[in-house]
Amino acid sequence: MKPIILDVDTGIDDALAMSYALNSPELELLGFTTCFGNVSVAEATRNTLAVLEKAGKRIPVYAGADQTFTRRKKKGWAKHVHGEDGLGNTLKNDPITQAESQFAPEFMIEQVKNRPHEITIIAVGPLTNLALAIKRAPEIIPLVKEVVIMGGAVKVPGNVNAYAEANMIADPEAAEYVFSSGLKVTLVGLDVTMQTLLPKAKLNEWRAAGKETADFFADMTEFYIEYYESFYPGIGGCALHDPLAVGVAIDSSFVTTETMNVKVVTEGEEAGRTVGNQEGEPRIRVCTEVEAERFLDHFLSKVV
């Protein structure tokens, strides 16, 4: 079992990634850490706890950054994509459980020090928590086994604007800090995640199971698919961004990578753009191709 910390800004595809990870025996989930992003950090923490309760699992949740690495104010949330509550407007009650008191970056530091060279961090929101952790304790950089990041658009256009992907534009300084730190990074960006589409018809199969949890995931995913169909007419489903990062952590053979140096633009109209090149010492493994069908089958065999 691979020990992991899953850093989320829960969000519908974050919730799907959580469920996929929770049902994958290859992974030992040490904890979830939360960040602002799709919603505020308070909402992301609430949603993470709610998803865990719906899934019937108890894994500790640690709240993290409520603003960007340089304490710049984040511009709005992604409620048009993920709903007012971040979960496709499916949340009826607040969770009963609570987050732990430890700050998410401190939890990351403690875990990595306890288990040097063992822990994989999967980050599927803005990279603020990870940037704060390595700024506070740079000695953990060589001790992290691997970081799998959902973010960026290296050879394809962004999804917030022509240049930037949502997790990168939410905190470009944090992303640049992480990419230039020496951490061993695999970047699962729009280059591959836009090829992993979940068609609406699958939701009927989930609902046919007659289980409350499956209905909960089907309802929230339907909201997400409707957003995708209005934003990308004819696309035929929603992109499984965050689940693909979990998939790559489980089985890296789902993707092909190219090792590059990746810089993140931090200023101006291209802020959040991820620029790949071969200058300096290339060391970020950028996913450039994906076996989408094989991944989708694996994801569907676990998620609900």
User: Annotated active-site positions, please?
Assistant: 9, 241
Q: Considering only residues 242-261, where is the footprint of Ca ion by CB under 5 A? A: 242
The verdict on 48 binding ligand BDR (CB under 6 A) reads: no
- Selected from 64, 105, 125, 272, the binder of Ca ion by CB under 5 A is 125
Work out whether 7 is an interface residue with Ca ion (CB under 5 A): no
Binding of ligand BDR by 13 (CB under 6 A): yes
Tokens 């450039």 -> residue: 288
Q: What are the angstrom distances between the C-alpha of 300 and each of 69, 157, 197?
A: 35, 27, 12
Based on the shown chain and the rule CB under 6 A, indicate whether residue 242 belongs to the binding site for ligand BDR. yes
> Which listed residue (11, 86, 247, 276) binds Ca ion by CB under 5 A?
11
Applying the rule CB under 6 A, the residues between 54 and 113 that interact with ligand BDR are 78, 81
Stretch 202-241: interaction string toward ligand BDR, x if CB under 6 A: ---------------------------------------x
Q: Which of 144, 74, 148, 63 is nearest to 105 (CA)?
A: 63
In this chain, which of 21, 51, 124, 175 binds ligand BDR, going by CB under 6 A?
Answer: 124
Read off the amino acid at residue 298: H
Segment contacting Ca ion (CB under 5 A): 13-21, 61-69, 201-209, 216-224?
Answer: 13-21
Closest-CB residue for ligand BDR? 166
- C-beta of residue 257 within 8 angstroms of C-beta of residue 186: yes
The CA angle 260-262-265, to the nearest 5 degrees, is 160
Q: Is 3 helix (H, G, I), strand (E, B) or coil?
A: strand
Assess 14 for contact with ligand BDR (CB under 6 A).
Answer: yes
CA dihedral 155→157→163→166, nearest 10 degrees, is: -100
Alpha helices in 56-141 (DSSP H): 79-82, 104-114, 128-136
Tokens encoding 234: 């004819």
* Residue closer to ligand BDR (CB basis): 81 or 131: 81
Specify the pairing of strand 27-34 against strand 284-290.
unpaired
Q: Is 43 in the site for ligand BDR (CB under 6 A)?
A: no
Kind of pairing between the strands at 274-277 and 284-290: unpaired
From 5, 15, 35, 124, residue interacting with Ca ion (rule: CB under 5 A): 124
CA gap 57, 62 in Å, rounded: 15
Q: Which is nearer to ligand BDR, 95 or 125 (CB)?
A: 125
CB of 114 to Ca ion, least distance (A): 26
What is the amino acid identity at position 277? N
Count of residues in contact with Ca ion, rule CB under 5 A: 6
- Whole-angstrom Cα distance, residue 48 to residue 139? 29
- The contact set with Ca ion (CB under 5 A) reads 9, 11, 14, 124-125, 242
- The contact set with ligand BDR (CB under 6 A) reads 11, 13-14, 38, 78, 81, 124-125, 150, 159, 165-167, 241-242
